[in-house]
Structure 1
Amino acid sequence: MKQGSLSEYFQGVAAKRLTEVEANVLRSNQHEFNGVRALREMLGEPNQRVPYPSKMMYLSDSEPEPIVEDALLTWYDARQKAREERGVMRDEYRLYFPSTSVSANFGAGDVLVIAHCQDGSLLLIVAKSGSSVGQQIEWLFGVDTSGVRYVLRSENDFDKQQLSFASRVILETIGLDPGWLDDSHLDEMINLFGESFPTTLQFSAFSRSKCMSVDTLADPDHALMAWMEKEEQLFRALENHIVSKRLKEGFLSGDGKPDVDSFISYSLSVQNRRKSRVGLTLENHLEHIFKANLLRHSRTARTENRSKPDFLFPSQNSYLDLSFDSQRLIMLGVKSTCKDRWRQVLTEADRVEHKHLLTLEAPISTHQLYEMRAKKLALVVPSNLHDAYPKSDRGYLISLAQFIQEVQTSQNGL
């Protein structure tokens, strides 16, 4: 097990795609995976039933959160009794799982990953066929499920796989601690911000100050990713400090009884803060890069139907001036993750025929990339994340540096 690698979490994984027959059988009463060679290599060949505390999970692009259930999976030899009683010289290992809301969603072509975790439990992940999240799961574990057999990855394989920003985001998606926390600047943050959260603008500026080696002009792609990762690490440290302190105080009503509603309200506020700040953080750092590159722009400008595109180039006034050449207008939508929300960008600036969307989600499914191109939407992805995409899709991606060059060209002579 190597720190900072996928082996911190997993001893091994076996992955494949569900066939039509498997999906139909698994949705019915026969809740078992056949114990093929790959599963035997990962789980061994015990002479007794082995129960595995497990988490089952179904992922799709259409749902904001995965469907998750705890379950007890059992690894056993279905022929053991016959071998012991009648001398049958064969074995037949199977992995049994109970009927759950997760298994009810299994479909042909879905990506199946059975992961053996370092704590001895199993994590069973099924991702919808053709989904972006399915490609992300394959990329995270380094598996190609286009064949008919299981693909096996061992702990030694994972030792060589250092965690990146993209892989940590996916780990968090499947409910694992991505190891963001960096408390080396905690005392400084408390002295500067006190026992409360600063504004996102303040915190973004503080995070950039801790990445002095990046060059905003020479490599904006690297700068953006370095700032995003650093801010996530620092925020988690400050959040851990503030939330831990509040939890120690407890949640009691005036009569000294536990106040469940107060606790739930506080918990929701913590979750909502995590979700809302990431998008603002990304916009903050992008605006800093645009200013450093002297790009004229308007942030959250207003266009038709009160739409608010994240960035308009060169300005809102230019957009509203119908005499201004629409070919020199550029719109950039910003979404840290896309899911199906990328279509919102299409209606935010009618005068801009070819729109741009920047995201940190990697990879996005080939199907969605094709649909984006059909809708005249160019995808801007920091170059650090391009390797997460299949080689056949990378030619359709635009780096942040390339986008900046495109804007600079459009603003020549203004």
Structure 2
Amino acid sequence: MKRGHLADFFSGVGVKKLSGTELDPRVSKGHEFQGTRVLQNFLGLPSSPQRLPCTYMWLTDDEAPVRHDGTATWYDSRSNQPHRNPEPRLFYTVESEGVVGLAAEGDSLFVCLRKDARLLILLCQSGSNIEQQLLWLFGLTSPTTRLIQNDLRQTEGLRLDFAARQVLEAIEIEVPTSHDQWLEPIFREFGPKFPGTAAFSAFARRQAQDVSPLTEPDSALMAWIELEDVMFHTLERHLIDERLRAGFQSGGKIDVEGFVSFSLSVHGRRKSRAGLSLEHHLASLFEAHGVKFDRNGRTEGNKQPDFLFPGAVEYHDPAFEPGGLTLLGVKTTCKDRWRQVLSEGRRVGQKHLLTLEAGISSNQTSEMQAAELQLVVPKPIQSSYSAEQQGWLNSVGELIGVIKERAASKNSRDG
């Protein structure tokens, strides 16, 4: 399957730590980002101030971005001092203060030059998930007070697989993933409509003949996820195009409510489908390995963990050893919801959580470890985590090994 690369969207990117003089009006009223001289490689040395189209975004781990579309000015602060070396700086406008003012000294600034020559100014808290994800996406090291850059005119940059596309979506950049060659087989199987998620996931797995769930469970899971994602967006684009062509008219007037309802349904379907498809593919993987499980089996307080091994009957049997039980939560992205898994089954000590989220911060994974929650991340995504974190993470194959080992240990005690 052909995938794009980061260089298809960006010419260059850089990151730096913000200082108080760049943000605090009590210290400076300059409204400018300093230490950005390396941007000369992309923007050139300004002989006079250049106003550039710019999008400013404040990013957090749990809320939608705060965004402002405006301009930024690239200028040489020493243009009137010919005896000194140039000192180019990036001036942000008063109108952008509602975004820039959310950052604090020590937070991270990402300056990204898009292929369409628009600047993208991204600000986020130091030590956050989104900071680690952006550093991984852009191929950058931990920021200092001087801009560290990656020239994407000289390299393709990261391949835009499922995990990378998720990070780009967080900064409101959507990567086209539809491939029209899938329309005919989808229509032949389901007709021109959205099928149920279980049926669609099974259909995607049947098309992925070059991966083995037995020998390469991590690669198989990601191949299934990738292919279904492409097929879904192919079908979605076609059906949305048909609906838009039909228009939104009611009684000779524009049907605003109809349009809003349709838009919400598209967004809702995307969110619910992603989580359900991941669960469907995992269930198929466990079945291939002969692992016994219940999906949404009930525990105390009517809680329903995503997967319970070997099942709810064993969980509620007082004679069944707790050491033979495994509880797995499944979340496409964790955000702050990972704590929900901790309360879903008292009889299970160490619980597991599987996610497709790239680059969760060290602060958060340390909290998980302290709470006895083992994070499971497919091998193709683990490179987005630090070396120290990777030593602690479980792969999907390792998770299956743990489940089987616990079941074997229980059987040996019974024997």
Instruction: Compute the TM-score of the two structures, normalised by the length of structure 2.
Output: 0.93
1:294–1:27: structure 2 CA closer, same or farther, 3 Å change rule? farther
Give the 5 Å matches for 1:122-133.
122-133=119-130
- The 1-side partners of 2:331 and 2:27 are apart by 35
* Partner SS for 1:339: coil
Pairing of 1:257-406 with structure 2 (within 5 A): 257-406=253-402
Q: Which runs of 5+ in 1 are unaligned?
A: none
Contact 1:27 1:104 in 2 (8 A): no
Instruction: Give the Cα–Cα distance (whole angstroms) in 2 for the partners of residues 202 and 397 of structure 1.
Output: 31
Q: d(CA) in 1 for partners of 2:274 and 2:179?
A: 17
Q: Does 2:59 align with 1:59?
A: yes
2:194 is the counterpart of 1:197: yes
Q: Which runs of 5+ in 2 are unaligned?
A: none
Counterpart position of 2:76: 77
Distance 1:181 1:300 in 2: 32
Match of 1:37 in 2: 37
- Please identify, of 263-272 and 191-200, the stretch whose mean Cα deviation from structure 2 is larger: 191-200
Corresponding residue SS for 1:351: coil
Deviation of 1:37 (Å): 2.3
1:324 positional shift: 1.2
Residue 151 of structure 1 is aligned with which of 128, 148, 152? 148
CA deviation map 1:55-110 (0-9, x unaligned): 111111132x2222212111123444x46xxx776644221112332112112222
Q: Deviations over 1:223-282 (max 9, x none)?
A: 0000001111110000000011001111111x2100111101110110111111100010
SS in 2 for 1:14: strand
Contact 1:111/1:145 (8 A) holds in 2: no
User: SS at 1:395's partner residue?
Assistant: helix
Residues 35 and 95 in structure 1, CA contact (< 8 A), matched pair in contact too: no
SS of aligned partner of 1:363: coil
Partner letter of residue 279 of structure 2?
E
Residue 191 of structure 1, CA deviation: 2.6
Offset of residue 35 of structure 1 = 5.7
What amino acid is the match of 1:193?
F
Change (3 A) 1:89 1:346: closer
For 2:7, give the aligned amino acid: S
Tell me if the contact between 2:107 and 2:123 (Cα under 8 Å) persists in the aligned partners. Answer: yes
Structure-2 change in CA distance of 1:141 and 1:79 (3 Å): same
- Alpha carbons of structure 1 residues 100 and 264: separation in structure 2 relative to 1, 3 Å: farther
**How far apart, CA to CA, are the structure 2 residues paired with 1:111 and 1:205?**
42
The residue number in structure 2 matching 1:19 is 19
CA shift at 1:26, angstroms?
Answer: 10
Identity %: 42
1:164 matched to 2:161? The reply is yes
Contact 2:303/2:344, CA 8 A, preserved across alignment: yes
Displacement, 1:390?
Answer: 0.9
CA distance in 1, matches of 2:284, 2:98: 45
Q: Which secondary structure state, in structure 1, belongs to the residue aligned with residue 163 of structure 2?
A: helix
The 3 A distance-change label for structure 1 pair 26 and 167 is farther
- RMSD of the TM alignment (CA)? 2.0
Displacement after TM superposition at 1:157 (Å): 4.7
* Contact kept? 1:6, 1:158, Cα under 8 Å: no
Task: Give yes or no for contact 1:27–1:106 (8 Å, CA) kept in 2.
Answer: no
Aligned to 1:249: 246
Distance 1:146 1:104, change over 3 A: closer
The letter for the 1-side match of 2:132 is: Q
